[in-house]
Amino acid sequence: MKKIKPFSIRFVVIGIFILPIIYIVGCHATPSTEGETPLPDAPVAIMPTYDTTQKNIHILVALCDNKYQGIVPVPAKIGNGQDPDNNLYWGCGYGVRTYFKKSSNWTFIKSIKQDDIKMQRLVFKHKQKNSYLIADAYNGMHIKDCTVDFFKSCSGQLKDVLDVDGKRIGINGNASLIAYIGHDGLMDFSLSESFRNADGQKRDAIMLACISKKYFASHLSQTQAMPLVWSTGLMSPEAYTLHDALNAYLDNQSPEAIRAAAAKAYAKYQKCSEKAARNLLVTGF
């Protein structure tokens, strides 16, 4: 009979104690899912797709507000930032909603009720170009939210899509141009957020607010957006300036030509010289 060596006996004894432990641990360990097909009730998230060939425009309007903004007061009815219908920058004759609804270039698609911050959303379709325009009316009390959303959209930190006419279109940072209309809130408050570009894409921007080049520049430079039109002094940010700038933009004109179109419209309605309007409305950094 062959004699069992001492080390073999020790191996057997250790195995008697170790194997059950390995079995117990194995029974309670998380099983590998490598190579397995995901269960039907755990779908994989799919990023929303939209037509990237469209030059869509998203306008963020901070409603004029005598109470909550540091502005020279306007008549109470048009300076109520909680009343879009009668607001200077929205429902009045030269407000975004009224002016673009009357435009021969744009077709009004629909109005969408939002919430207490974004009170109303309008959707327009250009009559000749494959472009949509989205305009959001922000409660004047929440002008800071409007300003932050503008910079986040310019940087690609805030992106969204909207289903219109059976199509999915890009808005916020998925739009090609983002515009801010209203009082320059940065004259009243500061922003601590960082608006560094998040995706390497470069968007276009228009800022119709008093002295917007001075107050918006440090934040806008982080976003890498191109300032097509902004201001060097006090101004009236009514819709005709934006409207004509967008006509030139959708015709693929140069930044200087877009600025010139904006200045021409401003001079016409404000009854000032085009030279003065061109000094007020500038392009680039």
pLDDT of residue 48: 56
Domain that holds residue 76: 57-235
Q: What is the pTM of this model?
A: 0.83
- Residue 26 within a domain: no
CB 209 within 8 A of CB 181: yes
Residue with tokens 């006090």: 234
User: In which order are the strands placed within the sheet that holds 106-113?
Assistant: 106-113, 118-126, 132-138, 57-62, 177-181, 204-208, 226-231, 281-282
Residues 6+ apart with CB under 8 A from 137: 61, 63, 84, 87, 90, 96, 97, 118, 119, 120, 121, 122
| Residue 56 binned pLDDT confidence (cut-offs 50, 70, 90) | very high
The amino acid that residue 16 corresponds to is: I
Q: How many other CB atoms are found less than 10 A from the CB of residue 99? A: 18
CA 271 → CA 16, 44, 258, 265, 266, distances in Å? 98, 58, 20, 10, 8
- Residue 87 within a domain: yes
pLDDT(147) > 90 = yes
- Residue 200 within a domain: yes
- Residue 247 within a domain: no
CB 261 within 8 A of CB 248: yes
C-alpha atoms less than 13 angstroms from C-alpha of 270 in its C-beta half-sphere: 22
- Residue 208 within a domain: yes
- Residue 3 within a domain: no
Count of domains in the chain?
Answer: 1
Measured over the CA atoms of residue 70, residue 177, residue 243 and residue 277, the dihedral's sign is: positive
pLDDT(40) > 50 = no
The amino acid that residue 110 corresponds to is: K
Query: Does residue 17 sit in helix, strand or coil?
Result: helix
| Residue 50 binned pLDDT confidence (cut-offs 50, 70, 90) | confident
- Residue 36 within a domain: no
pLDDT of residue 52: 83
Measured over the CA atoms of residue 257, residue 207, residue 88 and residue 243, the dihedral's sign is: positive
Query: Can you tell me the distance from the alpha carbon of 266 to that of 241, in angstroms, rounded to the nearest whole number?
Result: 5
The C-alpha angle with vertex 30 and arms to 27 and 31, in degrees rounded to 5, equals 85
DSSP 14: H
Mean pLDDT value across the chain: 88
- Residue 99 within a domain: yes
pLDDT of residue 270: 98
| Residue 101 binned pLDDT confidence (cut-offs 50, 70, 90) | very high
Query: Can you tell me the distance from the alpha carbon of 222 to that of 154, in angstroms, rounded to the nearest whole number?
Result: 9
